[in-house]
Structure 1
Amino acid sequence: MGFMAWVRRARTTVAGGGAGGRPLPGLLGGPARTPPDQGLPPDVPTPLSRARLTAWFEEHGYTYFVDSDGDVGGLWRGRLFYFFCFGQRGEILQVRGQWHREFAIERLTEVLEVCNTWNADRLWPKTYARVRDDGMVHVTCEVATDLEHGVTDEQLGQLLHCGLSTATVFFDQLDELYPDPASEAP
């Protein structure tokens, strides 16, 4: 059976209330529930949405917030992360993290070298430095994935974990290269 035939079959099964009329399992094997407006079992790729992101955070007990623009964010190990749905239909997932400290502009060249070395050696995350209006340098990581054809709950969880964990590895490297002077005894 081809993939599209399988999807049609799955939709028919869901429309009938699931196998044997029982409720279908919810996101990531959690309590019995169906994703909002989806009506499909969790192993069928469905469109990305902010609601699915927040459901994943709730499922895993993560604290998150939704800002005034409707963007989802949270703190992981003291670092700010945002989870964006970009694209015409919100089909591109981007996990973007920012290191919790900043650099003086005089260190821009060496910070760019650290980012470029990382980017040359690894696929994820993309790292870069930005100079803000106040002249301070901020370091950011991004992992972006085009999910035009949908994403299963398991795949979504894997992508979120990858975005968070790979950025954390890079930020930990920055912590080692540039120790926080306030954390050391005088």
Structure 2
Amino acid sequence: MVSFGDRARRWWGRGRPATRAEVSVAPVEDGELHARVAELLARELGTAEHGATTPAPVSPARIAAWMSENQFSYFVDNDGDLGGLWRGRLFYFFLFGEQAEILQVRGQWHRELAIERLEEVLDLCNEWNAERIWPKAYVRVRDNGRVHVVAEVATDLEHGATDAQLSQILFCGLSTGSMLFDALDERYPDPAGVAP
């Protein structure tokens, strides 16, 4: 499988590696660089087909366009997954299903907990899930025994979504995930953030 980085290097080098002389002698103007990045993203993510008033299939390109329109930073990782930062927290945007019709906004709390706190954090997640619709809160225990808390909002968009609907779903996933992470920050304050 060819990684996103390999594809980007081939695209920038037009299929051949650039020499040091070419890199240092041929500066790229901001406008040209922006156009190249936009072309690369369009090639990797597809083009955004806006569904202004009629539902249209959701694609990574539409999500990236929404991120740009709302002035959020985003990236495409080596696996081709679209991610971004929201209030300093990492979120990913996945499309699952046979027709890529299930949109999932998944965030991970920026800190990890000791395995000894697993029962209490499970109780916190269960309480959250019993009292709220979004996001689904759960934990993952990594191989190193550290506990990670995850927030997830998934929506079946088999019939597509308008731009307004897509925006509402994405804001819902990001803002409710942040609410869960705020509750975790309050419950488990960062010791380094407290004055000695």
Fold equivalence (TM over 0.5): yes
The one-letter amino acid paired with 2:145 is G
TM-score, normalised with respect to structure 2: 0.74
Q: How does 1:18-33 map to 2 (within 5 A)?
A: none
Aligned equivalents of 2:80, 2:174: Cα separation in 1:
20
The one-letter amino acid paired with 1:174 is L
- What is the SS of the residue equivalent to 2:94? strand
The one-letter amino acid paired with 2:83 is G
Aligned to 2:105: 95
- What is the SS of the residue equivalent to 1:144? strand
- What is the SS of the residue equivalent to 2:130? helix
Offset at residue 75 of structure 1 (A)? 1.4
The one-letter amino acid paired with 1:57 is M
* Structure (1/2) with the larger helix percentage: 2
> Runs ≥4 in structure 1, deviation > 6 angstroms?
none
Aligned equivalents of 2:182, 2:48: Cα separation in 1:
39
- What is the SS of the residue equivalent to 1:83? strand
Aligned to 1:54: 64
CA change 1:113–1:37 in 2 (3 A) is closer
Aligned to 1:81: 91
Aligned equivalents of 2:67, 2:51: Cα separation in 1:
19
The one-letter amino acid paired with 1:46 is A
Unaligned runs of 5+ in 2: 1-45
Aligned to 2:169: 159
The one-letter amino acid paired with 1:36 is T
Cα displacement string for residues 74-102 of structure 1 (whole angstroms, at most 9, x for unaligned residues): 11122110000111111110000000000
Aligned to 2:149: 139
Cα displacement string for residues 3-52 of structure 1 (whole angstroms, at most 9, x for unaligned residues): xxxxxxxxxxxxxxxxxxxxxxxxxxxxxxxx9374x6511100010000
Q: Do residues 148 (structure 1) and 148 (structure 2) align?
A: no
The one-letter amino acid paired with 1:106 is E
Relative to structure 2, which stretch is displaced further, 40-49 or 52-61? 40-49
Aligned to 1:36: 47
The one-letter amino acid paired with 2:53 is D
TM-score, normalised with respect to structure 1: 0.78
- What is the SS of the residue equivalent to 1:48? coil
Q: Do residues 168 (structure 1) and 174 (structure 2) align?
A: no
Cα displacement string for residues 40-69 of structure 1 (whole angstroms, at most 9, x for unaligned residues): 651110001000000100111110000111
CA change 1:47–1:185 in 2 (3 A) is same
**Number of positions where the alignment pairs a residue of Structure 1 with one of Structure 2:** 151
Aligned equivalents of 2:133, 2:67: Cα separation in 1:
25
